[in-house]
Amino acid sequence: MRPWPRRATRALATLAALGVLLGAAAHAARAQTDTAHGVDATGQEPLRLRIVGSLGQLNVYTRHERPFWTEVLPRVSDGRLAADIVAFDQAGLGGSDMLRLVQAGAVPFATALVPLVAAQDPRLGAPDLAGLNPDLPTMRRHTAAFRPYLAQRLRERWGAELLAVYLYPAQVTFCKRPFASLADLLGRRIRTSNLSQSDFVEALGAVPVQTAFADIVPKLKSGDIECAITGAMSGNIVGLHEVTTHVHTLATNWGLAVFIANDAAWQALPAESRALLRRELASLEAAIWDESERETEGGLACNRGDASCTDGRRGRMTVVQATPQDLRRGRTIVVGAVLPRWVQRCGAECAEVWNRTLAPVTGIEARAPTP
């Protein structure tokens, strides 16, 4: 096994402290849990799971993950299962370390954000390369085609059982100056959050500027960037409707996350508990995908100022609809730039994986990288 980077070692120390905190929280909450959900029919206290969830400020966690583990699971298991959950960023953990932490058993159950963990295993990011999924039906189709391989890769390389695949809302482009199509972005400095987005932006003839989410508004105000790729609703929440004028509907990409379990921890659960978790996590996954669609549409509605806006703040932005030319341009960029650069970083085996899993549904074949 390759040596752990220093940040992963620090993350393990954090997890040790976190385990103590979760244990204390579980003890303090046990009386309340028993009152609310009761012990099971045999009088046993519930089997309590330790979960590390996704980003703590976003709806995937606040509306879905946290309520599922703390409220839904005890109810549907008749008190046999309960859980303590903490968001990885609120626990001080690096999202890019999550695969190693699960592999080591330091985190028995976790949500891992694919754009972050793809730094360790680039092939996991294949189904959500920038420009590949301009709409949700396409994203669903490509994810379904790749999912069997995703489960296999997580099991064989990381000793992790894939239990669910979550989706964040569409990442769209906000700009300070008017534009009518992707062609109008030529030369503009555009915020990106990952290498695939940067490849896409560069192929447009624009300048990618990798920028932390928290720095988007300050950099737009200072003029360091002119546009930003981010979620339609999350951009609205941080005030992009106040510092930009136009937003494009084309999804540059979305944002996959996988909910995984350390294999030993998973196999240690009773068979009936594993069956229940698979069934209920399938429902959670479906709800999160539905939320992603609603939040994408709701974010655009809020930025435009529609009366239907309920979760954000109403702006007065111009929503630029993706044109057929935009869709053709996006596909051309995937074929000519995004996919080849991903293969170059990922290696010849990744080209083979792509051609076996995604080429049949995308109609795009990957070539092995040049030496």
* pLDDT tens per residue, range 303-330: 999 999 998 999 999 999 999 999 999 9
Q: Any alpha helices (H) in 263-367, and if so which ranges? A: 263-268, 271-304, 324-333, 339-346, 348-357, 359-362
Task: Please check whether residue 92 is in contact with residue 33, taking contact to mean a CB–CB distance below 8 angstroms.
Answer: no
Q: Answer yes or no: is pLDDT of 345 > 70.
A: yes
pLDDT tens digit sequence for 91-119: 888 888 999 999 999 999 999 999 889 98
Kindly indicate the confidence band of residue 24, based on its pLDDT and cuts at 50, 70 and 90: very low
C-alpha span between 336 and 331 (Å, rounded): 9
Kindly indicate the confidence band of residue 21, based on its pLDDT and cuts at 50, 70 and 90: very low
Q: Does residue 115 sit in the same domain as residue 27?
A: yes
Q: Does residue 184 sit in the same domain as residue 320?
A: yes
What is the mean predicted confidence (pLDDT) over 214-240?
A: 95
| The pLDDT of residue 44 | 74
The verdict on residue 370 lying in a domain is no
Domain that holds residue 182: 171-253+315-362
Q: Does residue 155 sit in the same domain as residue 134?
A: yes
| The pLDDT of residue 57 | 83
Kindly indicate the confidence band of residue 370, based on its pLDDT and cuts at 50, 70 and 90: confident
Q: Any alpha helices (H) in 38-119, and if so which ranges? A: 59, 66-67, 73-76, 98-104, 114-117
Say if residue 250 is exposed, middle or buried (CB neighbours under 10 Å; 0-12, 13-18, 19+).
buried
Q: Answer yes or no: is pLDDT of 137 > 70.
A: yes
Q: Does residue 137 sit in the same domain as residue 234?
A: no
Sorted by sequence, the CB contacts under 8 Å of residue 132 that are 6+ apart come out as 138, 142, 253, 334, 338, 362
From 265, 295, 325, the end of a domain falls on 295
What is the mean predicted confidence (pLDDT) over 288-308?
A: 96
Structure-token pair, residue 268: 């240690």
pTM for the full model? 0.86
Q: Answer yes or no: is pLDDT of 33 > 50.
A: no
| The pLDDT of residue 42 | 53
C-alpha span between 288 and 120 (Å, rounded): 25
Query: What CATH number does the domain containing 228 carry?
Result: 3.40.190.170
Work out the percent of the chain whose per-residue pLDDT is above 90: 79
C-alpha span between 121 and 125 (Å, rounded): 8
Structure-token pair, residue 356: 């076996």
Q: Does residue 18 sit in the same domain as residue 161?
A: yes
Q: Does residue 208 sit in the same domain as residue 282?
A: no
Q: Answer yes or no: is pLDDT of 26 > 80.
A: no
Q: Does residue 320 sit in the same domain as residue 190?
A: yes
The verdict on residue 302 lying in a domain is no
* CA atoms within 13 Å, Cβ hemisphere of 261: 16
Q: Does residue 240 sit in the same domain as residue 176?
A: yes
Q: Answer yes or no: is pLDDT of 183 > 80.
A: yes
Torsion, Cα 14 17 19 21, to 10 degrees, reads -120
**Average pLDDT over the chain, rounded to an integer:** 89
Domain count, the chain: 2
Closest CA to 132 of 367, 366, 320: 366
Task: Please check whether residue 166 is in contact with residue 256, taking contact to mean a CB–CB distance below 8 angstroms.
Answer: yes
Break the chain down into helix, strand, coil percent, rounded to 5: 55, 15, 30
C-alpha span between 343 and 350 (Å, rounded): 6
DSSP 133-192: -SSHHHHHHHHHHHHHHHHHHHHHHH-EEEEEEEEPPPEEEEESS--SSGGGGTT-EEEE
Q: Answer yes or no: is pLDDT of 31 > 50.
A: no
CB count in 10 Å sphere of residue 264: 11
Q: Answer yes or no: is pLDDT of 133 > 50.
A: yes
The verdict on residue 1 lying in a domain is no
3 state SS of 340: helix
Kindly indicate the confidence band of residue 37, based on its pLDDT and cuts at 50, 70 and 90: very low
Q: Does residue 45 sit in the same domain as residue 56?
A: yes
Q: Answer yes or no: is pLDDT of 47 > 50.
A: yes
Higher pLDDT, 233 or 23: 233
The verdict on residue 308 lying in a domain is no
Q: Does residue 41 sit in the same domain as residue 105?
A: yes
Burial 155-170 (b: 16+ CB within 10 A, else e): eeebbbbbbbbbbbbb
Written as one letter, the residue type at 35 is T
| The pLDDT of residue 45 | 85
Q: Does residue 227 sit in the same domain as residue 337?
A: yes
Higher pLDDT, 261 or 11: 261
Q: Does residue 198 sit in the same domain as residue 284?
A: no
